[in-house]
Amino acid sequence: MYLKILSFGIAKEIVGSPVFDFELESEATVGDLKRRLLERFPDFMALSSLAIAVDGTYAEDDWPVLEGQEIALIPPVSGG
Is residue 17 domain-resident?
yes
Task: Evaluate whether residue 49 is within a structural domain.
Answer: yes
Structural domain includes residue 79:
no
Q: How far apart are CA 30 and CA 47, in angstroms?
A: 17
Predicted local distance difference test score (pLDDT) of residue 78 = 63
Q: Is residue 28 part of a domain?
A: yes
Indicate whether 69 belongs to any domain. Answer: yes
Q: Is residue 53 part of a domain?
A: yes
Q: What is the mean pLDDT of residues 5-19?
A: 96
Render pLDDT for 16-68 as a digit per residue (tens, 0 to 9). Answer: 999 999 999 999 999 999 999 999 999 999 998 899 999 999 999 999 999 99
Segments forming the whole domain that contains residue 63 = 2-74
Does pLDDT of 74 surpass 80? yes
Q: How many helices (H) and strands (E) does the chain have?
A: 2, 5
Give the DSSP H/E element, type plus range, for residue 73. strand 71-74
Running DSSP on this structure, what letter comes out for residue 74? E
Residue 80, in any domain of the structure: no
Q: How far is CA 62 from the centre of its chain?
A: 14
Q: How many domains does the chain have?
A: 1
**What is the CATH classification number for the domain harbouring 49?**
3.10.20.30
Q: Does the pLDDT at position 77 exceed 80?
A: no
Structure pTM?
Answer: 0.90
Give the DSSP letter of residue 11: H
